[in-house]
Amino acid sequence: MSRPSPSFFRRIRWRLEYGVYLVAEKLIGLLTPREACLVGEQVGMLIRLVSAKHRRIVERNLRIAFAGEKSGAELELLAEEVFRRAGANLIASLCTASLEPEALNRAVEIENAELLTHAMSTGKGAIGILAHMGNWEALAQKFPQVMPPGVKAGDIYRPLSNPYLDVRMVATRQRMGLKLFEKSVNPLALASFLRAGSVLGIVSDQRALGIGEIVPFFGRLTACTPLAAVLARRTGATVFGVSVTSRTPGKWRIKFHPFAGDLTTENCMRLLETVMRESPADVFWLQDRWKVNKYKPQWEPGRTPKEGIAMLRANKRRRCLVWLEDGAAPVPSLKQAEPDNFIFEYCLPSEAPRPAWLAGDAIVHFRPVLNRRKLIAAEINRVDRATALPLDFVYAPHGSAKVIAVCRLMDMPVVAAQEGNPSK
């Protein structure tokens, strides 16, 4: 079945976007990589200033990833540097995409190149596990150059919605010999590419809804792509990690990291953590990696891997604040919620006694009388800041309309009253 033709206005918009991009690309192409980074840093700081949404996303991601490792002050400084590096890498990527090989060699250095040579020695191909990190165009341009003679390098990409920009991006990525596979490609084509002795890069830091395996990632259970592990098991390909870090403005380092353990999704994600920890400031934390489902915040879509879940590594449970009007009766349990993966905290009016049905070690927050929405929001923020891990969602079993409205204004996922058995 053929797709409907785009409307006239959509085609005009595509052309305008393409024209703006070409102008920006030409102007940035006049800069050196260092100058492009310095301009980009200011762009990143401007985004941080004007976008409260992205500030929240970056802060939440960093709190989950580094809970118990970094202080609040350290995370605040890291968040600021994340925006600065994201802007620098974004603008510099337009500059490095057109660099000649000699200039590219001056801008990008390689570390642990012998690991790649060793990975290719089996003749069964290799899989590089990547993150959205650093100057991705520098990696796309440099990666084919470090391949042994006769070895092809490939990458999986998501086509852009604008077809003119998509054609431009594909041509830019392929100019140094990188082969691109669309995200929807048949996995058999990827396996065939690997069996020919090639190297395939797989970006693995995004959530894999539906098809993903629920495994620990920075200590938090979440749906992760099993593609690298599945392809490696079926083809015998060697797995390694790839990090891209900023050395100084205009200079980057590509480093190869060894894989350890059995070929499982969990071990692939453990390697990805190593890659991202090489330089957390270079990671693109602006994507909501541990995003909570708006309508079913207690639910994590995905499947349990055959080897089971290593709960010892999943030590960062999700926080749920149960907002009670009184503690007279137990509240209905949350459907589709795995108790071992949650910390339930309870918020009660200050005059209410501690409920007898609560466990002795249950966390209880007593609140003053809150008759204004601003005060309710302040109380939720106070609870959120009470621990290193952020609050994931609010459960209002009594269906308080005011609390639900406040949560929605705060962009905090909320669950209203549910039917079910009382929680224990």
Predicted local distance difference test score (pLDDT) of residue 308: 63
pLDDT tens figures, 369-382: 887 899 999 999 99
pLDDT more than 90, % of the chain: 70
Place of tokens 């590096």: 85
99 alpha carbon, distance to own chain's centre: 29
Out of 16-25, 207-216, 246-255, least confident range: 207-216
The secondary element (H helix, E strand) that includes residue 61 is helix 52-65
pLDDT digits (tens, 9 = 90+) for 140-158: 999 888 888 888 999 999 9
Stretch 35-61: mean pLDDT, rounded?
97
- What is the pLDDT confidence band of residue 338, given thresholds at 50, 70 and 90? confident
pLDDT above 70 (res 421): no
Least confident of 80-94, 223-237, 255-269, 323-337: 323-337
Q: Is the pLDDT of residue 424 over 50?
A: no
pLDDT in tens, 234-243: 999 999 999 9
pLDDT at 55 over 50: yes
Q: Are 354 and 363 in contact (CB under 8 A)?
A: no
Nearest to 398 by CA among 338, 349, 341, 339: 349
Which tokens is 267 given?
Answer: 């071990």
Q: What is the mean pLDDT of residues 113-139?
A: 92
pLDDT at 97: 85
Q: By mean pLDDT, which of 195-199, 252-256, 296-300, 362-366 is the weakest?
A: 296-300
- The number of residues in the chain equals 424
- Give the residue among 280, 248, 380 at the shortest CA–CA distance from 70: 280
Confidence of residue 103 (pLDDT cuts 50, 70, 90): very high
The pLDDT score that the predictor gives to residue 311 is 63
Residue pair 206/287 in contact by the 8 Å Cβ criterion: yes
What's the mean pLDDT in 227-234?
A: 96
Distances (CA, A) of 390 to 264, 343, 380: 29, 11, 11
> What is the rounded end-to-end Cα distance, in angstroms, of the chain?
52
**pLDDT value for 420:** 46
* pLDDT, the chain, mean: 91
Residue 310: pLDDT band with limits 50, 70, 90? low
Instruction: Place 346 in a pLDDT band, splitting at 50, 70 and 90.
Output: very high
